[in-house]
Amino acid sequence: MPDGPDYAALTRGQLALLDRVNAGETGLAVLDAIVRLARDVLGALGAGFAEYSPGHGRIIAATGSCARALGRRVPEGTVDSCNGVFSGHIEGGGGHRVLGAPCEAGGLTVGSLHVSYGDDAGEPTPEHRAVLELLAASVGHMYGNQAGLPVHGDGPVVAALADGLAVIDRDGVVQLWNPAAERLTGRTAAETLHRQLPFPVPPPGQVLVHRLPSGRRLKVTAGDLPPTPGTRVVTFRDSTDQDRRNEDRDLFVAVTSHELRTPVTVIKGYADTLTNHWDSLGEDGRQEAVRVIGARAGELARLVDRLLSATSDDSGVGGSPPGPFDLVDALRAAAGELPADLRRRLDLAELPGDLPKAYGDRDSLATILTELATNADKYSPGETEVTVTAAADEATVTFRVADRGIGVKPEHVERAFERYWQGDNAHLPGAGLGLYLVRRIVERQQGWVSLRPRDGGGTVAEVRLPRA
């Protein structure tokens, strides 16, 4: 471990971060820069950040020796548990010293920042810990400002946002406007105080849902504020997520009917053809009709499985009992089941022949590869190859699907795993369920999956499974 932090690098790095923030950058792009700065300033082999959600955490930024842990779910969202995950998934194996510091916003811990050293590193100095805590505080400040964070919408930072509160007089003029009200409405106290409340007030005992121009929905309640006659207190909270869940149910019905319609129509059409024109079709025609029905029935079965899996809350639903299996053999078999056009785009030439066995559900590889390859096909030019590679280290067996497509923005690499999320590509076919399903399947096998931009353009999807 270095004798002390590199304070010159810390100063340069913080100035560079300030420039990026002032230029409008937010979210994961800035968070990644802070993680790299922690590694460089503290002379570490690697660094990473875990964002906390109720009951668990997820590593959403990592660099250097910690990069392998990117996307890893942490069963318990605490500094110690994240230290253990980083220590167990550092490239090179062996003993490692991992330091962590909590990141706080609104009095709640929203994540933790970590750096890793080799097993021969000495004891960290108070200066090392102080700099790590300083950078962790910078991350917490970003979360408190909602600067493109949190990446996931169910973390403590969301709970840290208190209800908006306003006090109005008998004429509806605002006398008090708390900080949460500013955050929820986008209107500062200076813009709101001594003016009419910018939304309706429901009668006592009733709830009003008001939609802001930004699309956010507020659930508003009001009551009298004694002892001043006519003075009322108005409270409001963000109900967008609850309303969105209702919209998700409607969307699921629409997606299901749309996705099922095509294979059902084709199957019925060919079945009717066989029934009404059996003799005139001839043997070749009948064989072709049966082949199409079989292919579409298989497609329909896979589609139903995807839809049911993507809408179930049971993370253990489906799947075969886990066990050792040959990953490369499973990938080649899964590739052979893909549609011909997609199969021709895959380049499997770099798959090694001597990997150790993975541990998990071999049958699930067909679904995982289908989803990742379909995504790569959808978002990349038709003349480019989609490359599938595999490797292993002391703890995991890995495969990657890489394309030369439009790439993935840093702020989208985690959102892409959300159900129904399609980002800027909502005009393209698909329901936004594929990556959500992949993450669920992989994590059920104690593995993890991540996305990252590919050097030279495109996207890399990486799946890691435990070694047998």
Q: State the pLDDT at residue 50.
A: 94
Residues 441-459 pLDDT 10s = 899 899 999 999 999 999 9
Q: State the pLDDT at residue 398.
A: 95
Tokens read off for 143: 């979360």
User: CATH says 240-311 is which class?
Assistant: mainly alpha
Residues 259-296 pLDDT 10s = 566 567 778 878 888 888 888 888 888 888 888 788 77
Structure-token match 């309706």, residue found? 200
Mapped onto helix, strand or coil, the DSSP state of residue 277 is helix
Q: State the pLDDT at residue 424.
A: 60
Q: State the pLDDT at residue 180.
A: 79
* Cβ–Cβ under 8 Å, residues 202 and 208: yes
Q: State the pLDDT at residue 346.
A: 93
Q: How far apart are CA 158 and CA 154, in angstroms?
A: 6
Average pLDDT, the chain: 82
Q: State the pLDDT at residue 427.
A: 45
pLDDT at 312 over 80: no
Q: State the pLDDT at residue 237.
A: 81
230 pLDDT tier (thresholds 50, 70, 90): confident
458 vs 340, more confident: 458
Q: State the pLDDT at residue 317.
A: 42
Topology alike, domains 7-157 and 161-238: yes
Residues 49-80 pLDDT 10s = 999 987 788 999 999 999 999 999 998 888 99
pLDDT at 314 over 80: no
Q: State the pLDDT at residue 24.
A: 83
Q: How far apart are CA 57 and CA 59, in angstroms?
A: 7
Domain ranges of the chain: 7-157, 161-238, 240-311, 323-466
Q: How far apart are CA 18 and CA 262, in angstroms?
A: 52
Q: How far apart are CA 410 and CA 459, in angstroms?
A: 11
Q: State the pLDDT at residue 240.
A: 64
Residues 107-117 pLDDT 10s = 778 899 999 99
- From the CB of residue 77, how many other CB atoms can be counted at a distance below 10 Å? 23
For residues 222-229, average pLDDT: 69
* Cβ–Cβ under 8 Å, residues 168 and 201: yes
Q: How far apart are CA 465 and CA 322, in angstroms?
A: 11
Q: State the pLDDT at residue 378.
A: 86
Q: State the pLDDT at residue 428.
A: 52
pLDDT at 250 over 70: no
* Residue 232 β-bridge partners: 168, 224
**Among 163-172, 203-212, 260-269, 345-354, the range of highest mean pLDDT:** 345-354
Fold assignment, 323-466 = Heat Shock Protein 90 (3.30.565)
Give percent above pLDDT 90 in the chain: 32
Torsions phi, psi of 417, nearest 5? -90, 0
Q: Is 401 exposed, middle or buried (0-12, 13-18, 19+ CB in 10 A)?
A: buried
Q: Is 257 exposed, middle or buried (0-12, 13-18, 19+ CB in 10 A)?
A: exposed
Omega cis (within 30) before 227: yes
Q: How far apart are CA 29 and CA 372, in angstroms?
A: 24
Homologous superfamily of 7-157? GAF domain (3.30.450.40)
Homologous superfamily of 161-238? PAS domain (3.30.450.20)
For residues 333-346, average pLDDT: 83
pLDDT at 467 over 60: yes
Pairing outcome for strands 108-118 and 164-168: unpaired
Structure-token match 């340069």, residue found? 12
Pairing outcome for strands 386-392 and 346-347: parallel
Q: State the pLDDT at residue 261.
A: 60
Mapped onto helix, strand or coil, the DSSP state of residue 466 is strand
155 vs 301, more confident: 301
Residues 178-201 pLDDT 10s = 777 888 898 998 899 999 999 999
